[in-house]
Structure 1
C-alpha cells in the first residue's frame, strides 16, 4: 500500500528538520573548536609573555648582582633581547600602515635567526664552569651581540624616521589646507547692488540745467471798502408799506 501525499510531505519535513539539526550541531562544534583554539592561543601567549617577563627580570638581577663573565653574559642577553623585541614591535606596528616595511620585516626575520642562535649560546654559557675559557670567548660574543643589536637598531630607527616623515608631510599638507580655508573664511566683500534696482541718475551739468522760471508778479490787493459811502439797497431789502385799516 503506497503512502499518501500527506505522509510524503510529513517525511520530507522531518528530513529537512533533521538536516537542519545536523547542520546546527556541526556549526556549534566548529564554533566550539575555534573558541577553544583561540582561548588556547591566548593562554599560550600569556604563558610565553609571563615566562619572558620572568626571564628578563632574572637576567636584570644577574647583571646587577653577579660579577665577572657571568654578569656580562646576563647583560649581553638582556641587551640583545631588548633590542630585538623593540625592533620587532616597531616593524610590525608600521607594516600595518606602510607596505614598504614588508621587506624590512623579511630582513628582520633573517636577523632574528642569528639573534636566537646567539641568545641560546649565551644561555648555555651561563652554566659553564670553566670561567677562564668563558672569559676568552667573551670578546667574540660581545662583538656578535653588538653587530646584531646595531643592525636591529638601524632597522628600528629607520622605520620610526619613515613614519615620522610621513606624519610631518601629512601635517604640512593639512596645515596648508587649513591656512587656505581660514583665509577663505576671512575673505568677504560688499554685496553689489542688485541689477533689478535702477541706478541713481547723475546730477545734470550746469550748462544742461533749465533756466530758472521768473517769480510771478504780485497781484494788487483788492481796494478796501469805503464804509462812509451809502450802501445800495436792493429791491428785496425795501420795507413793505403798512396796509390801511380804513
Structure 2
C-alpha cells in the first residue's frame, strides 16, 4: 500500500512539474507575441503619421517626413526581397548580413530625422537637411542595389532552371516518340 502511495505521489509531482513548465513556456510565447504585435502596431501608426505629415506639414517638416518614408520603404522592401529568397539561396546570406549592417545605419539616420521633426527652429532643420538628404540617398541606393541584385539573381536562376527543364522535356519527348520496334536479339547460328 505504501508503494502505491509513493508511486501516485511521484506521478502527481511529475504532472505538476510538467504543467508548470508548460505554463511558463506558454506565458513566454504569449508575451513574445504581444510584444511583436505591439511593435507592429506602433510601426503602422508611426508610418501612417509620417504619410499624413508629408502632406499636411509644409516646408522642411514635410521634407523630413518624406525622407523618413523613403528610408523605411527602401529598407523594408529589401528585407522582404532577401527574406523571401534567403532560405532557397545560401549565397544571399552575405547580402543579408550586409543589409543588417545597413539597417543599423538606417535606424540611426531615422532617429536623427525623428529628432529634427520635433526641432522648433526650422532654420536649423533647413541647414541640416542637405547633408541628411545625401545620407538618406546613400542608404536607399545601397538598399535598392541589394534588392535589385537579389531580384536579378532569382530571375536568372528561374530562367536557367526553366531552360534546363525545357531541354530535359525535349529529350524525353523525343525518346517517347521514338517507336521503332526493338530488334530481336540475334541468336547465334548453330555453326558458331
Tell whether the structures are fold-level matches, with TM greater than 0.5. yes
The structural deviation recorded for 1:47 is 1.5
1:30-79: CA deviation from partner (whole Å, max 9, x where unpaired):
22222222222222221211111111111111112222100000000000
CA distance in 2, matches of 1:78, 1:194: 77
- With over 3 angstroms needed to count, the CA separation of the structure-2 counterparts of 1:189 and 1:137, relative to structure 1, is same
1:28 counterpart = 2:19: yes
The structural deviation recorded for 1:16 is 2.6
- With over 3 angstroms needed to count, the CA separation of the structure-2 counterparts of 1:193 and 1:134, relative to structure 1, is closer
- Match among 157, 164, 168 for residue 177 of structure 1: 168
User: Could you list the runs of 5+ residues in structure 1 that have no partner in the other structure?
Assistant: 1-9, 197-246
CA distance in 1, matches of 2:82, 2:31: 26
Equivalent residue for 1:137? 128
Task: Tell me which protein shows more helix as a share of its residues.
Answer: 2
Q: TM-score, normalised by structure 2?
A: 0.89
- Higher relative contact order, chain-length normalized (CA < 8 Å, sep 6+): 2
Q: TM-score, normalised by structure 1?
A: 0.70
Equivalent residue for 1:14? 5
Higher Cα Rg, which structure: 1
Equivalent residue for 1:37? 28
Equivalent residue for 1:243? none
1:46 counterpart = 2:37: yes
Equivalent residue for 2:62? 71
1:82-108: CA deviation from partner (whole Å, max 9, x where unpaired):
111111122222221222222222211
User: Could you list the runs of 5+ residues in structure 2 that have no partner in the other structure?
Assistant: 188-192
The structural deviation recorded for 1:192 is 5.5
CA distance in 1, matches of 2:5, 2:169: 68
Equivalent residue for 1:239? none
Paired residues, what number? 187
